[in-house]
Structure 1
Amino acid sequence: MLYGIAAATTALLLSAVLTALMRVPALRLGVLDRRRQRPLPLLGGVAVVLVTCLVTAAGEWTGFAPLLDGIGTLLAAGAAVAVLGLVADVRRVKARFLVGGTAVAAVCVVPYAETGVPGGLLAAGWIVFVAVGFRALDHADALAGTVGVVTAFGVGVLAAAEVMDGLAALLSVLAAALTGFLMHNWPPARVGLGSCGSLFTGFVLAAAALSTRTGHEPAAGAGVLFALTVLAAADVVLVLLSRRLAGRPLLRRGPDHLAHRLRRLGLTSQGAAVLLGVGAFSGVLVAVLAQLGWLAQSGVYWVGAGALIVVIALLRVRVYGPRSPRRMESPQVRAQLRVRNG
Structure 2
Amino acid sequence: MIGHAALVTAIAAFVACAVATPVLRRLALRWELTDRPGGHKSHRRPTPYLGGIAIMLATVVPPLALAGPAVARIAGILVGAVAMALLGLIDDIAPLPPPTRLAVQTLAAGVVVVSGVVAPVTGSRLDMVITLLWIVVVSNSFNLLDNMDGALGGVTVVGAALLSAAAFVSGQPETGLLLAALSPAALGFLLYNWAPARIFMGDAGSLFIGFTLTSSAALVVSGAGPGTATAGLLLPAFVAIVDTGIVMLARSRAGRPLLQGGSDHLSHRLHRLGLGKRLTALALAALAGAAGLVHLATTLGWVAPVAAAAAAGAAGCVVVVLAQRVRVYPSIRPKTAIRVRR
Q: Answer yes or no: same fold by TM over 0.5.
A: yes
2: distance between equivalents of 1:27 and 1:50? 20
The 10-residue stretch of structure 1 (109-118 or 161-170) with the greater mean CA deviation from structure 2 = 109-118
Q: Which residue of 1 aligns with 2:290?
A: 282
Q: Which residue of 1 aligns with 2:27?
A: 25
Q: Which amino acid aligns with 1:205?
A: L
Q: Which residue of 1 aligns with 2:109?
A: 106
Q: Aligned runs of 1:126-165 on 2, under 5 Å?
A: 126-165=134-173
1:227/1:284 contact within 8 Å kept: yes
Q: Aligned runs of 1:27-176 on 2, under 5 Å?
A: 27-34=29-36, 35-38=41-44, 39-60=46-67, 63=68, 66-69=70-73, 71-110=74-113, 111=116, 115=120, 116-176=124-184
Q: In the alignment, is residue 248 of structure 1 matched against residue 256 of structure 2?
A: yes
2: distance between equivalents of 1:242 and 1:100? 27
1:273-313 Cα shifts (integer Å, max 9, x gaps) = 11111111111111110121111221332222122111111
2: distance between equivalents of 1:30 and 1:322? 37
Shift of 1:321: 2.0
Shift of 1:219: 3.2
From 304, 322, 330, the equivalent of 1:313 is 322
Q: Which amino acid aligns with 2:266?
A: L
Matched-pair identity in %? 35
Give the secondary-structure state (helix, strand or coil) at the position aligned to 1:228: helix
1:225/1:287 contact within 8 Å kept: no
Q: Aligned runs of 1:166-245 on 2, under 5 Å?
A: 166-245=174-253
Give the secondary-structure state (helix, strand or coil) at the position aligned to 2:315: helix
Q: Which residue of 2 aligns with 1:304?
A: 313
Shift of 1:160: 0.6
CA RMSD of aligned residues (A): 1.9
2: distance between equivalents of 1:47 and 1:168? 20
Give the secondary-structure state (helix, strand or coil) at the position aligned to 1:216: coil
Shift of 1:10: 1.2
2:118/2:127 contact within 8 Å kept: no
Number of paired residues? 322
Q: 1:114 to 1:199 in 2, by over 3 A?
A: closer
The 10-residue stretch of structure 1 (82-91 or 116-125) with the greater mean CA deviation from structure 2 = 116-125
Q: Which residue of 2 aligns with 1:330?
A: none
1:174-218 Cα shifts (integer Å, max 9, x gaps) = 111111111111111111111001101110111111011012111
Q: Which residue of 2 aligns with 1:5?
A: 7
Q: Which amino acid aligns with 1:206?
A: T
The 10-residue stretch of structure 1 (144-153 or 215-224) with the greater mean CA deviation from structure 2 = 215-224
2: distance between equivalents of 1:288 and 1:130? 20
Q: 1:113 to 1:183 in 2, by over 3 A?
A: closer
1: distance between equivalents of 2:263 and 2:83? 29
Q: Aligned runs of 1:254-269 on 2, under 5 Å?
A: 254-269=262-277
Give the secondary-structure state (helix, strand or coil) at the position aligned to 1:67: helix
Shift of 1:322: 4.1
1:86-137 Cα shifts (integer Å, max 9, x gaps) = 0111112233332321111111112278855321111111111221011111
1:6-58 Cα shifts (integer Å, max 9, x gaps) = 22111101100101111112122222223332222111001011122222222
1: distance between equivalents of 2:218 and 2:245? 21
